[in-house]
């Protein structure tokens, strides 16, 4: 398998706090990796750096062989890194179609008509066609998450970073989203999935990386992760108790 993402010694601090403490992580093209860990362990920070939203304090990130630290989010989007946000980011006053087109995601080289066609096809695929001309404000929380998924597809991404995509999503919609994640992955798209929903993580991912206080404390299969003492102590023990 070709290596797609190579993270080395990645460090991020906020004030005195090391949100990421020299992280090393390599991910091959086509992997579907779960990223778990307690609140504040650095999961979102890691995604924010890989997608260009935060600057790092040290270390490096290579994507398809290219050093990408310091590149702006829209540049990274153009070279195939797509993401969703923990707090859903849709343009509430714009229609779904406008949301698909304005986010800097449409490849305008293809021309407006072609971009609209593609947006419509994706909305259809996501069963959102009936809402095409509605403002995104009218969507339920789950539908807004779905629109974020649909928007990611405008990029034809090769690496998709999902931050809590299933939070507050109705079970039926959730299983639809699972199918999407599996379909992306079957197309050789790499997916990194953050979730506190262990059913989703262990159901979708063959590899699970666990963070605690900015360090990777486990990197293994779901079985290895569930049996890992450090993971149980830092995270899963609490989850089971709760």
Ligand X SMILES: Nc1ncnc2c1ncn2[C@@H]1O[C@H](COP(=O)(O)OP(=O)(O)OP(=O)(O)O)[C@@H](O)[C@H]1O
108 binds ligand X per the rule CB under 6 A: no
| Range 125-164, binding ligand X (CB under 6 A) | none
Cα–Cα distance between 196 and 170 in angstroms, integer? 16
40 binds ligand X (CB under 6 A): yes
Which of Mg ion, ligand X, none has residue 41 at its interface (CB below 5 to 8 Å by kind)? ligand X
Q: Which residue, 40 or 222, has its beta carbon nearer to ligand X?
A: 40
Which pair of structure tokens corresponds to residue 116?
Answer: 């609209």
Toward ligand X, which CB reaches closer, 34 or 37?
A: 37
Edge-first strand order for the sheet with 66-67 is: 17-28, 3-14, 58-63, 66-67
Say if CB 36 and CB 185 are below 8 A apart. Answer: no
**Closest CB to ligand X among 86 and 95?**
86
Query: CA torsion 46→47→49→52, rounded to 10°?
Result: 180
Residue 17 interface partner, choices Mg ion, ligand X, none, CB cut-off 5-8 Å depending on type: ligand X
Query: Given phi > 0 = left and psi -120 to 50 = alpha, else beta, which region is 150?
Result: alpha
Question: Residue 84 interacts with ligand X (CB under 6 A)?
Answer: no
Give the integer Cα–Cα distance in Å for 123 and 154: 10
Tell me which of 32, 33, 42, 217 binds ligand X, using CB under 6 A: 42
Q: Which is nearer to ligand X, 123 or 165 (CB)?
A: 165
Listed in order, strand segments (DSSP E) in the chain are 3-14, 17-28, 32-36, 58-63, 66-67, 81-83, 159-163, 190-194, 207-212, 215-220
Among 37, 82, 157, 165, binds ligand X (CB under 6 A): 37
Segment interacting with ligand X, rule: CB under 6 A, options 39-47, 87-95, 98-106, 202-210: 39-47
Binding region for Mg ion (CB under 5 A): 43-44, 86
The piece of 42-50, 107-115, 142-150, 180-188 that touches ligand X (CB under 6 A) is 42-50
Interface with ligand X, residue 41, by CB under 6 A: yes
What are the tokens at 128?
């959102």
- Cα-based angle 173, 177, 184 (whole degrees, multiple of 5): 165
Q: Does 99 bind ligand X (CB under 6 A)?
A: no
List residues binding ligand X (CB under 6 A).
Answer: 14, 17, 19, 37, 39-45, 86
């Amino acid at each position: 398998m070709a290596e797609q993402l190579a993270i080395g010694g990645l460090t991020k601090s906020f004030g005195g706090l090391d949100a990421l403490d020299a992280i090393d992580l390599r991910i091959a093209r086509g992997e579907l990796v779960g990223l778990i860990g307690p609140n504040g362990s650095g999961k979102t920070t890691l995604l924010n750096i890989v997608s260009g939203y935060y600057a790092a304090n040290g270390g490096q990130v290579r994507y398809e062989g290219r050093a990408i630290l310091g590149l702006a989010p829209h540049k990274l989007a153009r070279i195939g890194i797509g993401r969703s946000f923990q707090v859903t980011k849709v343009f509430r006053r714009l229609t779904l179609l406008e949301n698909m087109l304005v986010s800097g995601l449409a490849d305008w080289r293809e021309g407006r008509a072609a971009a609209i066609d593609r947006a419509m096809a994706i909305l259809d695929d996501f069963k959102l066609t009936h809402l095409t001309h509605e403002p995104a404000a009218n969507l339920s929380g789950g539908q807004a998450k779905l629109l974020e998924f649909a928007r990611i597809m405008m990029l034809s991404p090769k690496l998709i970073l999902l931050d809590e995509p299933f939070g507050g999503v109705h079970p039926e919609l959730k299983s639809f989203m699972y199918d999407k994640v599996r379909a992306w992955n079957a197309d050789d798209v790499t997916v990194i999935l953050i979730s506190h929903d262990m059913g989703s993580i262990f159901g979708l991912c063959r590899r699970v990386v666990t963070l605690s206080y900015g360090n990777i404390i486990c990197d293994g299969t779901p079985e290895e992760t569930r049996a890992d003492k450090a993971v149980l102590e830092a995270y899963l023990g609490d989850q089971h108790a709760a």
